[in-house]
Chains A and B, each alone.
Chain A
Amino acid sequence: MSKSIMLASENLIPWSQPFLDEVNWRLHQELAQMIKQSDSSVREHGLKNVQKWLTSHQYPEGAEAELKAWERVLRQATDPEIIEFMLDPSEAGILRRSNSPFAGILADDKRMQILQQLEAEIQSHAVARIAPIYLPCSRTFGLSSI
C-alpha cells in the first residue's frame, strides 16, 4: 500500500478539502465492503458509468487518462486488486477517487449517513479537546466551596 497522506479525523476541519477526501474514502470503504461480500454490481455499475462517460464526454487528457485507468482495472483486476486500487491512501489515490466511476450505487441516505458520521466524529474530538480545560477547574471550585 502506498504512503498515506490522509489526516486522522481529529485533525480535519469540516468541509475542507481533506474532509471531503475523507468522506470520499469512506464512501469507497462502503463500496469495498460490498465487493468483499461478492456483490458484482459495484464492478458492473462502475464499468457502465465510466464507459458511458468516456463515450459521451470530451474530457481533458488528464481526466480521461484517470477514467481509462479505472476502466482497465474494472475490466481486468481481481476483487482484492480493485479494493486496493480504490482505497489507496496516497495522493494518487485521492486524485483517483475524485474521478471515481462508482456513482449511483450507494443510496443518498447511506451517503448522507457517512457524511454525518464524520461530522459527528469531528465534533466529539473538538468537545474532548475542550473538556480537560474545564473539568479540573470545576472540581477545584467544588471542593473549595464545601
Chain B
Amino acid sequence: MHAVTSASNLPQSALRSIEVDIVLIGEQFHLKSHVFQKFGMGSNYLAEHGVVADPIGKGLLALPPDWESRLVEVIDQEGEYSHHAIEIHDIASAKLSAGRQKDYEFLIELIMRNIINPYLLKERFELLRETAFGVAVDDRKQTLGEKLAESDLKSEAAIFLDC
C-alpha cells in the first residue's frame, strides 16, 4: 500500500518494491480485472514504465473507520493533483492488524525513526475494535509492545502494553 510522509529517512523495508496497490472503491471495483490486465504484474505497462499496480478491494483492508476522510492529496512535480494516498497512521494500523513478522519490523523502524507517532498509532488502531478485525486488536498490541521492548524501546513499548 502507498502512504504519504514528508520524512526523508524512510526505512529500507518501506522502499523495497516497484509495486503500488490501488484501492478500488465502490463501482471502481468492477475495474479490477481491467487494472490487472493493463497495469498488473507481467503487463506491457510494467515492461514499458518499470512500475506495476495491483488492484485491491477496500473491503479487504483492515483500515480504521473513516480512513477515507483522512486521505492525503498527492501533488505531482508539475504541481498538479495526482492521486490520493492513505494517511500513514492508517496504513500502520493495517500493517499491525496483518501482524506478520515483516509488519512488526516495519512498524518498529517507523517508530524508531519518528516517522509515525506511537500514541496516534495506538489511538487509530483502537478504532479497529468496532470492525470485523477487532478480535485481533489486543493480541497485536501486546505483540508490538513486546517487540518494542525487545528493541530497547521501553517507553514506546509501554504505550501498547497497557491493555
Q: B-contacting residues of A (Cβ < 8 Å)?
A: 13, 15-17, 20, 23-24, 27, 49, 52-53, 56-57, 59-63, 65-67, 91, 95, 97-100, 102-106, 108, 111-112, 115
Contact = CB atoms under 8 A, between A and B. Distances in A.
B42 A103 contact: yes
A91 B104 CA distance: 14
A142 B19 CA distance: 54
Given A57-B50, A91-B102, A111 B18 contact: no
Contacts of A99: 16-19
Contact of A104 (B33, B46, B54): B46
Interface in B97-116: 100-102
A56 B49 CA distance: 9
Interface of B: 10, 12-19, 21, 32-33, 36-37, 40-48, 50, 52, 54-57, 60, 100-102
B16 A111 contact: no
Contacts of A24: 41
B56 A98 contact: no
Contacts of B102: 91
A17 to B, nearest CB: 7
A28 B8 CA distance: 34
Given A15-B60, A20-B56, A52-B50, A62 B37 contact: no
A91 B32 CA distance: 25
A99 B100 CA distance: 20
Nearest to A60: B15
A50 B118 CA distance: 38
A23 B50 contact: no
5 contacts: A15-B57, A17-B21, A104-B43, A111-B40, A112-B36
Contact of B42 (A60, A65, A111): A111
Contacts of B52: 98, 103
A49 B47 contact: yes
A96 to B, nearest CB: 10
B15 A103 contact: no
B17 A95 contact: yes
Contacts of B17: 62-63, 66, 95, 98-99
Given A13-B60, A100-B41, A115-B36, A63 B46 contact: no
B41 A27 contact: yes
Chain A CB within 10 Å, residue with most, of B13, B42, B46, B101: B42
Given A15-B57, A112-B33, A104 B44 contact: yes
